Structure formats: structure tokens, C-alpha cells
Chains A and B, each alone.
Chain A
Amino acid sequence: MSHIDKMDNSNWTILFICWMIASISTLGSLFFSEIMKFPPCVLCWYQRICLFPLVLILLTGLFSFDKSVVKFALPLAIAGWFIAFYHNLLYSGIIPESIQPCGKGVSCTEDYINLFGILTIPMLSLIAFSTIVILLFILKRRLPT
């Protein structure tokens, strides 16, 4: 009994960490756009579409510790990861800027923030999505089907 409890506890903690990452990323992205007034580009919006719902979906899973939350959260996290990955390719110039899908006004490759020469906004997004995806996969394997 206590073994199962312990197991449940650590699973819950993994989910909790996922939720914290999603929440911090959401608030951070809102801080950039609403407080610092950086206009979000098209790709940022697509990533936000995947990110914002994660906060609520994971929260619901946390409260009742419903194991099926992994099933619902993973597709969003994976989709977000692909967009973030593509965005980073554009940003670093691996894909030429001429085929970027952004309209005039807000460029997807404009440098707003650059900490230590590597931590740009798209990089932060990629790190967040990667961590969430990895943690959710670990959780998926640990949970009895």
C-alpha cells in the first residue's frame, strides 16, 4: 500500500513540475507582450495556442490526479515543440528568412531578448516544451495502463 502511495506521490510531483513550467512560461510570455509590449509574431502565437491550454489541462489533472491527463496534454506539448523547433531554425538562420511566414511589421527573427548570447525567447520556448514533453513521456511509461 505504502509503495503504491510513494509511486503515486512521485508521479504527481512530475505532473506538478510540468504544470509549473507551463505556468511560468505562460506568465513569462504574457509579461513580454503585455508589460514589455513586445508584439508576438505569428509563430509565437502558434506556440501560445499549444502552451496556454496546457496550464488548465495539467491543473485539472493535478487536482484529481487523473492519469488520463497525460494522454490529453501530450499532443499539445508535442505540437508546440515542433513549432518551437521550427522557430529556432528560422531564428538561428538555418532556414533562410525569405521563406518565413510572418507578415510585415512583426518579424519572427527580431532579437528582443538575448541572455548570454543563447537564451532568446524562441529558445526559452523550446526548452520549456522539450522539458514538458520529456516529463510527460516519463510519466506515461511509469503509469499502469
Chain B
Amino acid sequence: MKKQNVVIISAICLVLIFVLGSYFYKHQRSKRLGFMAKENASIFVREHSPTYGSDDAKVYIVEFFDPACETCRDFYHPVKNLMAANPGKMKHVMRYAPFHDGSDFVVKMLEAARKQGKYRETLEVMYKYQPHWASHHNPQPQLLWRVLPEAGVNIEQIRKDMNDPEIAKLIEQDLADAKTLNVRKTPEFFVNGKPLPSFGFAQLKELVETELQANY
């Protein structure tokens, strides 16, 4: 056999092993997570987690997010519309993965606003002004104090409530679950415990539709 052919065939074999290996790994991961979702659902949905949608829903979107993450911001309205398109059938579980500097401070604000029943409004204000306060080189969550009144919250109460140790415990639990589920980037979505095959809104929508068909 010519030497050149040996090289070419070896290269093809290596690439083939790589592709098969990644297919196998993704398949295994999906199976393992599906098993975890059945046997140990609380890793995905904790009692403390804020949720949108119906309690009778059979399709759960679990999102690990960070208020300072741009991609999470981009997904916010598309996911909201997807929920609105399937009323009563879906539930959106919000889990925290505050990976950016200063994000845990913002999550604490958000949780404090939740006590006033203004969770969604506050999150929307945070996303709206995200380019101003969430620069990666110089995050300034303090700037949020100026815009939070737009959400109709009592600022003084938030300043008091956000230091509640319960909130710190909640964030810690979410981060621990994120680690268990190997969430290293935000946003990370799980639909009924299944991970996205690859990242993107189209993939999320497709997975949701598959689950809707399987459950209704």
C-alpha cells in the first residue's frame, strides 16, 4: 500500500471514530438525564423555583439562566411566546446559574422582588436595561436601583429582603444542581429532562413540540 494512502485512511478512521464517539456520548447523556428526570425529578424542579404556566402542564421547560447573560435575554420573549401558544400545557421553571461577576447580587434583587409579587416585571426590566448594567468587563448591578421602580416594586423593601439567608441558600442549591447536570453555560434548557440536541431556539421549539405530541 502506498504511504499516502495509509495516511489518508488513518485520517478518515480517526475522524469517523470522533463522529461516532460524539454521537454515542450525546445519546448516553440524553438517556442518563431522562433517567434522572424520572427517578430524581427534584434536581430539575425544586420547591423554591419560580415557575410560569399551568400546574397541570405535562411539558416542563427547565431553564438555567443568568440575568446578566445576553443569550438568556434573547431567549426570553421567544420562550414566553412559545408558552402563550400552548396555554395550559406547559410550565417554565426558572433556575439560577449566576456565572457572571455580580450576577448573584442581581438574582438576590430578583428574588426579593418575587416576595412583592413582581417577579416577571422585575426580570423584564433587568433584561431591558441589561446592556447598561451587565457589561462583562465592568458589571454595575448598582445601576439597577435607578430603573427598578419601573417594575413597580418597593425599593427599600428589596434592599432589606435581598439579604435573606434563604435566598443565598436557594442560589447555592441551584448552582449545585447545575453542577450535577453539567450546566456550564447559560441558558441551558431541559424539556421534560431532555437536553437540547444542539443549542438554538429552533431546536428548543422542536423538542417542545415532540414532547407536546407525546403527552397530549
Output the nearest chain B residue to A28 by Cβ-Cβ distance.
Answer: B18
**In the A-B complex, the 10 residue pairs with the closest CB atoms:** A35-B22, A27-B18, A62-B7, A23-B14, A35-B25, A37-B184, A27-B14, A12-B3, A39-B184, A63-B4
Does A16 have its Cβ within 8 Å of any Cβ on chain B? yes
> Interface range on chain A: under 10, 10 to 19, 20 to 34, or 35 or more?
20 to 34
Output the nearest chain B residue to A104 by Cβ-Cβ distance.
Answer: B101
- Complex interface bits, A81-107 against B, C-beta within 8 A gives 1, otherwise 0: 000000000000000000000001100
Task: Indicate if the CB atoms of A62 and B25 lie closer than 8 Å.
Answer: no
- Complex interface bits, A52-74 against B, C-beta within 8 A gives 1, otherwise 0: 00000001001101000000000
* Given A37-B182, A37-B185: A16 touches B7 (CB 8 Å cut-off): yes
Set of chain A residues within 8 Å of B22, measured between Cβ atoms: 31, 34-35
Task: Indicate if the CB atoms of A20 and B21 lie closer than 8 Å.
Answer: no
* Given A31-B22, A37-B185: A24 touches B14 (CB 8 Å cut-off): yes
Does B163 have its Cβ within 8 Å of any Cβ on chain A? no
Chain A interface mostly helix, strand, loop or mixed? Answer: helix
How many angstroms from the CA of A23 to the CA of B18 in the assembled complex?
Answer: 11
Q: How far is the CB of A69 from chain B (nearest CB, A)?
A: 13
Q: How far is the CB of B23 from chain A (nearest CB, A)?
A: 9
Does B77 have its Cβ within 8 Å of any Cβ on chain A? no
Q: Which residues of A are at the interface with B, using a C-beta cutoff of 8 A?
A: 12, 16, 19-20, 23-24, 27, 30-31, 34-39, 59, 62-63, 65, 104-105
How many angstroms from the CA of A107 to the CA of B80 in the assembled complex?
Answer: 36
* Given A36-B25, A37-B184, A39-B184: A16 touches B18 (CB 8 Å cut-off): no
Q: Which residues of B are at the interface with A, using a C-beta cutoff of 8 A?
A: 3-4, 6-7, 10-11, 14-15, 17-18, 21-22, 25-26, 99, 101, 182, 184-185
* Given A23-B14, A37-B184, A37-B185: A31 touches B21 (CB 8 Å cut-off): yes
Set of chain A residues within 8 Å of B185, measured between Cβ atoms: 37
How many angstroms from the CA of A20 to the CA of B11 in the assembled complex?
Answer: 9
Set of chain A residues within 8 Å of B101, measured between Cβ atoms: 104
Task: Indicate if the CB atoms of B7 and A19 lie closer than 8 Å.
Answer: yes
Output the nearest chain A residue to B8 by Cβ-Cβ distance.
Answer: A63
Interface hub of B4, B7, B22, B185 (most chain A Cβ within 10 A):
B7
Q: How far is the CB of B9 from chain A (nearest CB, A)?
A: 12
